[in-house]
A and B are shown apart, each in its own frame.
Chain A
Amino acid sequence: MTTKLFGEPVRRREDARLITGQGRYLDDIGSSAYAAAFLRSPYAHARIVDIDVTPAVDVEGLLAVYTYEDLVGPMAEPLPVLIPHPQLTSPRTGFPLAKNVVNHVGEAVVMVVATDRYVAEDALDKIVVTYEELPVVVGVDAAREAVHAVHDDVPDNVAARHHQETGDVEPALAASPHTLSFTQYFERSAAMPMEGKGVHARWDDADSSLRVYTSTQASTSVRAAIAAKLQLSLEKVEVIAPDVGGGFGVKIVHPWPEELLVPMAARLLGHEVKWSEDRREHFTSSAHERQQRQEVTVGYDDDGRITALDVHIWHDNGAYTPYGIIVPIVTATQLVGPYVIPVYRVRVESVFTNTVIVTPYRGAGRPQGCFAMERAMDRIAQERGLDRAEVRMRNLIQADQFPYDHHLTFQDGRPVVYDSGDYVGLMDKLKALVRWDSFEERRAEARARGRHLGIGMAMYVEGTGPGPYEGGHVQVLGSGKVLVSTGLTSQGQGHETVFAQLVASELGVPMEDVEVTTGDTRRFGYAVGTFASRAAVMSGNAVALAARGVKEKALRIAADVLEVDPGDLEIDEGLVQVKGTPGASIPLRTVAVLSNPLRYAFDEAAKQATQFAGPGDDSKPPVAVGDAPGLEHTDYYSPVRSTFASGAHAAVVEIDPATWEIDVVDYAVVHDCGNVVNPMIVEGQVHGGVAQGVGGALYERMAYDRDGQLQNASFMDFLMPYASEVPDVVIDHQETPSPLNPLGLKGAGEAGVIPGSAAIASAIEDAVGRRIAAMPISPTELYDLVRSDADQVSNTKTGVLA
Chain B
Amino acid sequence: MKPAPFGYADPTTVEDALDVLAADEGAKVLAGGQSLLPLLSMRLAAPTTLVDINRVPGLDGIEVTPDGVRVGALVRHARLLHSTEAAAVQPLLGRATANVAHPAIRNRGTTVGSIAHADPSGEMTSVLALTDGSVTVATPGGRETIGWRDLFVGPLETSVHGPAVVLDAFFPGLPERSGTAFAEIARRKGDYAVCGAGVVVTLDADRRVSSARAAYLSVGLVPEVHDLSDAVAGKPVDSADWAAAGELARGLVDPDGDLHASADYRRLLVGTLTERTLATAAAEAASRAGAGQ
Q: Which residues from chain A sit less than 8 Å from chain B, CB to CB?
A: 117-118, 121-122, 125, 278-280, 658-661, 699, 703, 711-712, 716-717, 719, 721-722, 724-725, 778-780, 783-784
Contacts and interface: CB of A to CB of B under 8 A. Distances in A.
B90 to A, nearest CB: 27
B43 A712 contact: no
A179 B250 CA distance: 45
Contacts of A778: 187, 260
Contact of B190 (A659, A661, A724, A783): A724
B252 interface: no
Size bracket, chain B contacts: 20 to 34
A661 B268 CA distance: 12
Contacts of B189: 722, 724-725
A121 B43 contact: yes
Contacts of A721: 188
Contacts of B45: none
B265 A779 contact: yes
A280 B42 contact: yes
Interface string B170-195: 00000000000000010111111010
Contacts of B191: 716, 719
A724 B262 contact: no
Interface stretch (B2-10, B110-118, B145-153): B2-10
A658 B268 CA distance: 8
Contact of A280 (B1, B4, B190, B261): B1
A779 B269 CA distance: 11
A118 B261 contact: no
Interface string B247-274: 0000000000001111011001100100
A703 B2 contact: no
Contacts of A661: 185
A659 B272 CA distance: 7
A780 B262 contact: yes
A703 B3 contact: no
B269 A659 contact: yes
A712 B192 CA distance: 14
A633 B189 CA distance: 52
A118 B43 CA distance: 11
A699 B187 CA distance: 8
Contact of B2 (A118, A658, A717): A118
Contacts of B264: 783-784
Contact of A117 (B2, B188, B259, B269): B2
Nearest to B257: A780
B188 A279 contact: no
A780 B260 contact: yes
B272 A780 contact: no
Contacts of A783: 262, 264-265, 268
Main secondary structure of the interface of B (DSSP, over half): loop
Contacts of B194: 779-780
Nearest to A35: B2
Contacts of B187: 699, 719, 778-779
Nearest to A698: B187
A277 to B, nearest CB: 10
B20 to A, nearest CB: 22
A118 B259 contact: no
B185 A279 contact: no
A659 B260 contact: no
A783 to B, nearest CB: 5
A661 B273 CA distance: 13
Contact of A703 (B185, B192, B259, B272): B259
Contact of A125 (B4, B42, B260): B4
A711 B185 contact: no
B265 A125 contact: no
B268 A659 contact: yes
Nearest to B46: A125
Nearest to A711: B259
6 contacts: A117-B2, A118-B3, A659-B185, A659-B268, A660-B265, A778-B187
A280 B5 CA distance: 20
A779 B5 CA distance: 42
Interface string B51-88: 00000000000000000000000000000000000000
Contacts of A780: 194, 260-262, 265
A117 B185 CA distance: 39
B66 to A, nearest CB: 37
Contacts of A117: 2
Nearest to A120: B2
A5 to B, nearest CB: 39
A784 B263 CA distance: 11
Contacts of B43: 121, 125
Given A658-B272, A712-B259, A780-B261, A724 B188 contact: yes
Contacts of A280: 1, 42
A722 B190 contact: yes
B100 to A, nearest CB: 15
A451 B39 CA distance: 41
Contacts of A699: 187-188
